[in-house]
Amino acid sequence: MGAWYELIYFAFRNVKLRIGLTILLFFVLAAIFAPLFARYDPNAYVGPAAHPPSPEHWFGTTTFGQDVYSQFAHGLRLTLIVGLLGGSIGTLIGILIGLISGYRGGLLDEILNMITNIVLILPTLAILIIIAAYLTVRGFLVQSVFIGLTAWPWAARAIRAQTLSLRAREFVDLARMSGRSSMKIVLTEIAPSMMSYLFMVFILQFGGAILNAATLDFIGLGPTQAFSLGLMMNNAVLWAALELGMWWWLIPPGAAITAIVGALYVMNVGLDEVFNPKLREL
Amino acid sequence: MGLRVENLRVYYRTLRGYVRALEGVTFSVADGEIMGLAGESGCGKTTLGHSLIYLKPPMNYIEGQVFLDGQEVPIWDMKRMNEFRFRRISVIPQYAMNALNPTRKIGQLIADLLAAHGVDFKEILPELKRRLDLVQLSHEVLNMYPIELSGGMRQRAVMVISTLLNPSLLIADEITSALDVSTQKAVCEMIVEFRNRGFVRSTIFITHDISILYQIADTIAVMYAGQMAEKAPTEAILRSPRHPYTRMLIASLPQVGVRYREERLRGIPGAPPRLLDPPPGCRFQGRCPVAFERCVETPPFVEVEPGHFVACWREI
Amino acid sequence: MLALESVSKIYRVGVLGLGKLTAVSEVSFEIGEKEIVALIGESGSGKSTIGKMILRLIPPTSGTIRFEGKDIFSLKGKAVKEYYRKVQGVFQDPFASYNPIFKADRIFTMIREEFFPEISRPQWERKLEEALRAVGLNPPDVLGKYPHQLSGGQLQRFLIARALLLDIRLLVADEIISMLDASTRVDVLNLLAELRDRGLSILFITHDLSLGHYISDRSVVLYKGRIVEMGSTERIYSRPLHPYTEMLMASVPRIDQKWTHGEIRVERNAVGPSLGCVYYGRCPIAQEICARRVPPLIEVESGHQVACHMRT
């Protein structure tokens, strides 16, 4: 109890963490509330084409006269959901396989390692394309799961390596001599020791999922019904928004993705300080 | 003439203020003297060794003077120190075994080092070979990479390299602490041999192990929490220590022959003060059994018998 | 109480694990009740490996380790916990024994959760305080702190206190004072001796002969994974028989006697994996037979065994 309270106390005292968290929170809130203020269907042609921001259309309109704000609001929500889901699935599988493989060792490790390596060398994007092409109705859920299922191997490998080195530490020996079960040791000794590392894995998975989703969206294999920031950006690039000086079409989705991933990175650095009491005092 | 250090003050700069690692250290080492520098971890002995040759941030030179053979050594000036380093003041670092560049053969490495100091490798080669013989390394090692040598062999190679230009002062920093007892003895005897043959004139041998110093040192200096506590000829300091810290430290050493069942040794209660904000005066006062009012003033380091210096109000 | 029977540990090394590294070779010895046994050896002697095998942290390649008659590696489930209730260890580096992200007293909480879940909080606190006082610590000074806020000596005592919370019979102390300063080192040694007097057995693993001599009742000298000599500490120190023990005794720095200046002895290239005595490559009195046959441990006088062809 006390330990968690203290951790939270230090977390809130940490400037980097506060900055990162504020930015992230801003986008999460935006994803929740912004669509409520969107007056138009993101796909509908509602206004004059290629119009800069105005009181009528806050973020301007696209080449086709769609409302950019409505697209952004819905896109942000979906992007965060796909990133969160895909990133979580990838992180979870990676952590699970990495921890088990690294701590148990032996035959189980060899088998898991083999599976990891196989998935690792599969051409991820190609597989995603094939799978996506087979499904005629594609929801963001399916997309997230596929992204998560193909993104975990590097995470598993990195976590396995960390686990291997932590397993040999004397405090793990001490926990074993305290009669702790392997499961408990992994959960209470090894996992907490690489908490900031796990968070970094999650950030990279999160960012990766967002980018993977954008790529799929770009080649027309994204969700059939919905809208995402990736789709927006790629539409903008496709219709030469940059060359035509339509900054209002390109910047919101680009800035949002950059800000979200950037905030997560800053949080990671901050968390490292929070989790390591030695860094706290300086 | 040897080495003379006067009132040396070196602090570490940290985010929370200065750590007073060396506070007014004064001592001298004569020509041909091997001075053992002992003390517990954090007492400043390694800082002292480093500040005499390589005073780099976060170490901060505050005040004090160092003279070698009568000439002032500008330890605060990294650039001007270059002409002293290696040529006149040399060091065998704590992890000497890992101090060699792994991508160069030992011979090339020595040639590079000599070239940097304007010495011709060819000229010195015969002497180098004689010294390799002395430490029982075959001449083959010059054509080998560091990784091809065992830890003990590398240690000996570094010893030869460090002393190749016959420095006036050699600083050996905990060079035996990672070695097995048998190798330890060999390395210590080589240090004495180097002195006897005049390869080095004065030596400062830093270690936490007083029993090693008894074997090889002419004098022993004991430091406590950044200050010099006592310095005296080896026999004198071990048989009749004057500073309470030295007395308690020596009494706490288990020797071969002493057994718990027959004789109970005692440690020193308490812990050294934090050097970030040490108490004024003698830094040992908090653990000292004979401390009195006067100890809040810093005791001077005075000669109580010829060659025997003590910083304790009780002994003055 | 604890007996090692011909215990060996061989590690597979190199490409595909084809190479073999023998860390411990056919080691047998016993630890009796209320006894401190010093396990003496230099780096690479296999002394820590033996300690870890006794603590069930690594399995031996062959041989058995029995505690109160039972093979400790055949224990399952609850019996393992019961074993750890009686046998505990303390390691060399006090800082490495703590998870740096948690407070140091978490090691006690772990003991409470695993071994004493039924005990009430005030009762537990009393028990903990008792254990801390027994190792010479003042509870308010040391509880609730992070490992880096405590000194090495305090952390080491913490680990001993942790063991005292259990009903331990045997403590494996692996080089526990080599990282402590001289002024605190003796106090930890004295503590171990007091514990022995109160009924504990201790395996004291060390490379420092003077420390071993100070507290141990019996000594076991290891060289490259093999026992070269063992017997009562007094005997071994006053009359070492194996040339390796002799050499160790002669090179340990003392403050009452200077080294006899012989020739400077350094390791020469060790003779490759030989069939004979492990010390053959460095031995000053070796004969031809020493290269061919491994000398068995032979009892030369009551309780004093030596493995040397020349001295038995």
Q: Of C260 and B237, which is predicted with more confidence?
A: B237
C114 chain-A contacts, CB cut-off 8 A: 178-180
Tokens of A238: 């496709």
Give B13 to chain A, closest Cα distance, Å. 12
Verify whether the Cβ–Cβ distance A3 to C103 is below 8 Å: yes
Instruction: Give chain C's mean pLDDT.
Output: 88
Q: How confident is the model at residue C129 (pLDDT cuts 50, 70, 90)?
A: very high
pLDDT at position C271 is: 45
Q: Is the pLDDT of residue B7 over 90?
A: yes
Q: Do B122 and B248 belong together in one domain?
A: no
User: Tokens 């010195």 belong to which residue?
Assistant: B124
Q: How confident is the model at residue B192 (pLDDT cuts 50, 70, 90)?
A: very high
Q: How confident is the model at residue A282 (pLDDT cuts 50, 70, 90)?
A: very low
Q: How confident is the model at residue C90 (pLDDT cuts 50, 70, 90)?
A: very high
Q: What gap in Å lies between CA B218 and CA B157, rounded to an integer? A: 25
Q: Is the pLDDT of residue B89 over 60?
A: yes
Q: Do B20 and B143 belong together in one domain?
A: no
Cβ–Cβ contacts within 10 Å for residue B83, how many? 12
Is B185's Cβ below 8 Å from some Cβ in C? yes
pLDDT at position C261 is: 66
Q: What gap in Å lies between CA C91 and CA C180, rounded to an integer? A: 12
The ipTM is 0.85
Range of the domain at A178: 2-35+57-280
Q: Is residue A51 part of a domain?
A: no
* DSSP code of residue B281: S
C264 chain-B contacts, CB cut-off 8 A: 135-136, 186, 189-190, 193
C184 chain-B contacts, CB cut-off 8 A: 267-268
Q: Is the pLDDT of residue C125 over 90?
A: yes
Range of the domain at B236: 3-88+169-315
* DSSP code of residue B280: S
pLDDT at position B17 is: 83
Q: Searching chain C, which residue's CA lies closest to the CA of residue B246?
A: C183
Give C263 to chain B, closest Cα distance, Å. 9
Instruction: Give chain A's mean pLDDT.
Output: 84
* DSSP code of residue A124: H
Q: Is residue A44 part of a domain?
A: no
Q: Do B271 and B244 belong together in one domain?
A: yes
Q: Is the pLDDT of residue B68 over 90?
A: yes
Of B166, B191, B221, the last residue of a domain is B166
Question: What is the residue type of A87?
Answer: G
Q: What gap in Å lies between CA A278 and CA A234, rounded to an integer? A: 45
Give A193 to chain B, closest Cα distance, Å. 26
pLDDT at position A279 is: 65
Q: Of A110 and C181, which is predicted with more confidence?
A: A110
Note the residue count of chain C. 312
Name the nearest CA neighbour of B22 among B74, B76, B66, B61.
B61
Residue partners of C260: CB distance under 8 A and separation at least 6? C250
Q: What gap in Å lies between CA A3 and CA C167, rounded to an integer? A: 29
Q: What gap in Å lies between CA A71 and CA A232, rounded to an integer? A: 7
Q: How confident is the model at residue C249 (pLDDT cuts 50, 70, 90)?
A: confident
Of B166, B186, B219, the last residue of a domain is B166
Give B254 to chain C, closest Cα distance, Å. 6
Q: Do B182 and B263 belong together in one domain?
A: yes
Q: Do B214 and B280 belong together in one domain?
A: yes
Give C96 to chain A, closest Cα distance, Å. 6
C98 chain-A contacts, CB cut-off 8 A: 171
Q: Is the pLDDT of residue B314 over 70?
A: yes
Considering only the beta carbons, identify the residue of C42, C181, C265 that sits closest to B186: C265
At CB < 8 Å, which residues of chain B contact A?
Answer: 15-16
Q: What gap in Å lies between CA C83 and CA A211, rounded to an integer? A: 53
Question: With pLDDT > 90 as the criterion, what percentage of chain C qualifies?
Answer: 54
A3 chain-C contacts, CB cut-off 8 A: 102-103, 106
- CATH number where B47 lies: 3.40.50.300
Q: Is residue A267 part of a domain?
A: yes
User: Tokens 């990175």 belong to which residue?
Assistant: A265
Verify whether the Cβ–Cβ distance C185 to B267 is below 8 Å: yes
Q: Do B252 and B180 belong together in one domain?
A: yes
Q: Of B15 and B46, which is predicted with more confidence?
A: B46
Q: Is residue A8 part of a domain?
A: yes
pLDDT at position C67 is: 95
- For chain B, the farthest-separated pair of C-alpha atoms sits apart, in whole angstroms, at 64
Mean local confidence (pLDDT), B152-157:
84
Q: Do B131 and B35 belong together in one domain?
A: no
* DSSP code of residue B232: E
pLDDT at position C269 is: 46
Q: Quote the distance between the C-alpha of residue C99 and its chain's center.
A: 23
Give how many domains chain A has, as a whole number: 1
Q: How confident is the model at residue C185 (pLDDT cuts 50, 70, 90)?
A: confident
Mean local confidence (pLDDT), C101-106:
88
Q: Is the pLDDT of residue C268 over 70?
A: no
- For chain A, the farthest-separated pair of C-alpha atoms sits apart, in whole angstroms, at 73
CA distances from B56 to A99, A157, B11, B18 (A): 42, 40, 11, 15
Q: How confident is the model at residue C263 (pLDDT cuts 50, 70, 90)?
A: low
Name the nearest CA neighbour of A141 among A185, A73, A82.
A82
CA distances from C22 to C13, C45, C49, C53, C221 (A): 10, 10, 11, 14, 17
* Percent of chain A that is helix, strand, coil (3-state, to 5): 75, 0, 25
Tokens of A236: 């903008």
Q: Of B27 and C42, which is predicted with more confidence?
A: B27
- Give B193-211 as a DSSP string: HHHHTTS-SEEEEE-S-HH
Q: Is the pLDDT of residue B180 over 70?
A: yes
Q: Do B178 and B303 belong together in one domain?
A: yes
pLDDT at position C264 is: 47
Q: Do B77 and B205 belong together in one domain?
A: yes
Residues B38/B223, Cβ–Cβ less than 8 Å:
yes
Give B82 to chain C, closest Cα distance, Å. 34
Q: Searching chain C, which residue's CA lies closest to the CA of residue A3?
A: C102
Q: Give per-residue pLDDT as tens, A94-111.
A: 999 999 999 988 888 899
Name the nearest CA neighbour of A208 among A121, A113, A141, A125.
A125
- CATH number where A108 lies: 1.10.3720.10
Q: Of C124 and A219, which is predicted with more confidence?
A: C124
Considering only the beta carbons, identify the residue of A169, A171, A277 that sits closest to C148: A277
Give A196 to chain C, closest Cα distance, Å. 11
Residues B7/B63, Cβ–Cβ less than 8 Å:
yes
Does the structural domain C30-60+71-216 have CATH classification 3.40.50.300? yes
Cβ–Cβ contacts within 10 Å for residue B223, how many? 24
The neighbours of chain C, by the rule of 3 or more Cβ pairs under 8 Å, are A, B
Verify whether the Cβ–Cβ distance B267 to C184 is below 8 Å: yes
* Residue ranges of chain C that CATH labels 3.40.50.300: 30-60+71-216
Verify whether the Cβ–Cβ distance C88 to A171 is below 8 Å: no
Verify whether the Cβ–Cβ distance C98 to A275 is below 8 Å: no
Q: Searching chain A, which residue's CA lies closest to the CA of residue C102?
A: A3
Mean local confidence (pLDDT), C67-87:
93
Which range (A19-23, B307-311, C184-188) has the least confidence?
A: C184-188
Q: Searching chain A, which residue's CA lies closest to the CA of residue B14?
A: A282
Burial level of A12, CB count in 10 A (0-12/13-18/19+)?
exposed
Q: Searching chain B, which residue's CA lies closest to the CA of residue C188?
A: B267
The neighbours of chain A, by the rule of 3 or more Cβ pairs under 8 Å, are B, C
User: Tokens 């503590």 belong to which residue?
Assistant: C191
Residue partners of A176: CB distance under 8 A and separation at least 6? A185, C56, C57
Q: Searching chain B, which residue's CA lies closest to the CA of residue A279?
A: B15
Verify whether the Cβ–Cβ distance C189 to B250 is below 8 Å: no
Mean local confidence (pLDDT), B81-101:
84
Q: Is the pLDDT of residue B265 over 90?
A: no
Q: Give per-residue pLDDT as tens, C284-298.
A: 888 888 888 889 999
User: Tokens 């090894």 belong to which residue?
Assistant: A190
pLDDT at position B227 is: 93
Q: Residue by residue, what is the 3-state secondary structure of chain C?
A: CEEEEEEEEEEEECHHHCEEEEEEEEEEEEECCCCEEEEECCCCCCHHHHHHHHCCCCCCCEEEEEECCEEHHHCCCHHHHHHHHHEEEECCCCCCCCCCCCCCCHHHHHHHHHHCCCCCHHHHHHHHHHHHHHCCCCHHHHCCCCHHHCCHHHHHHHHHHHHHHCCCCEEEEECCCCCCCHHHHHHHHHHHHHHHHCCCEEEEEECCHHHHHHHCCEEEEEECCEEEEEEEHHHHHHCCCCHHHHHHHHHCCCCCCCCCCCCCCCCCCCCCCCCCCCCHHHCCCCCHHHHHCCCCCEEEECCEEECCCCCC
pLDDT at position A262 is: 86
Q: What gap in Å lies between CA C247 and CA C249, rounded to an integer? A: 5
Mean local confidence (pLDDT), C221-249:
92
Q: How confident is the model at residue A89 (pLDDT cuts 50, 70, 90)?
A: very high
Name the nearest CA neighbour of B204 among B171, B174, B157, B249.
B171
Q: Are strands C298-301 and C304-306 parallel, antiparallel or unpaired?
A: antiparallel
- Give A184-236 as a DSSP string: HHIIIIIHHHTHHHHHHHHHHHHHHHHHHHHHHHHTT-S-SS---HHHHHHHH
Q: What gap in Å lies between CA B200 and CA B171, rounded to an integer? A: 10
Note the residue count of chain B. 316
Q: Do B302 and B210 belong together in one domain?
A: yes
Tokens of B87: 């040529």
Q: Give per-residue pLDDT as tens, C270-285.
A: 444 457 888 888 888 8
pLDDT at position B67 is: 94
* DSSP code of residue A241: T
Q: Give per-residue pLDDT as tens, A135-154.
A: 776 778 888 888 898 889 98
Mean local confidence (pLDDT), A48-56:
82
Is C259's Cβ below 8 Å from some Cβ in B? yes
Mean local confidence (pLDDT), A167-185:
91
Q: Do B158 and B180 belong together in one domain?
A: no
Q: Searching chain A, which residue's CA lies closest to the CA of residue B15?
A: A282
Question: With pLDDT > 90 as the criterion, what percentage of chain A qualifies?
Answer: 20
Residue partners of B132: CB distance under 8 A and separation at least 6? B138, B139, B141, B142, B160
Residues C251/B212, Cβ–Cβ less than 8 Å:
no
Residues B199/B131, Cβ–Cβ less than 8 Å:
yes
The count of CB pairs under 8 A between chains B and C is 126
Cβ–Cβ contacts within 10 Å for residue B307, how many? 13
pLDDT at position B129 is: 93
Q: Of all helices (H) and strands (E), which one includes residue B227?
A: strand B227-233
The whole model's pTM is what? Answer: 0.82
pLDDT at position C270 is: 45
Mean local confidence (pLDDT), A7-36:
87
CA distances from B279 to B8, B19, B44, C155 (A): 19, 13, 16, 25
Give A279 to chain B, closest Cα distance, Å. 12
Q: Of A47 and A83, which is predicted with more confidence?
A: A83
Q: Is the pLDDT of residue A47 over 50?
A: yes
**In the sheet that C218-223 helps form, which strands lie side by side, from edge to edge?**
C87-90, C170-174, C201-206, C36-40, C218-223, C226-232, C304-306, C298-301
Verify whether the Cβ–Cβ distance B256 to C210 is below 8 Å: yes
Q: Do B257 and B196 belong together in one domain?
A: yes
Residues B294/B313, Cβ–Cβ less than 8 Å:
yes
Q: What gap in Å lies between CA C231 and CA C149, rounded to an integer? A: 41
Residue partners of A78: CB distance under 8 A and separation at least 6? A140, A223, A226, A227, A228, A229
Residues C190/B265, Cβ–Cβ less than 8 Å:
yes
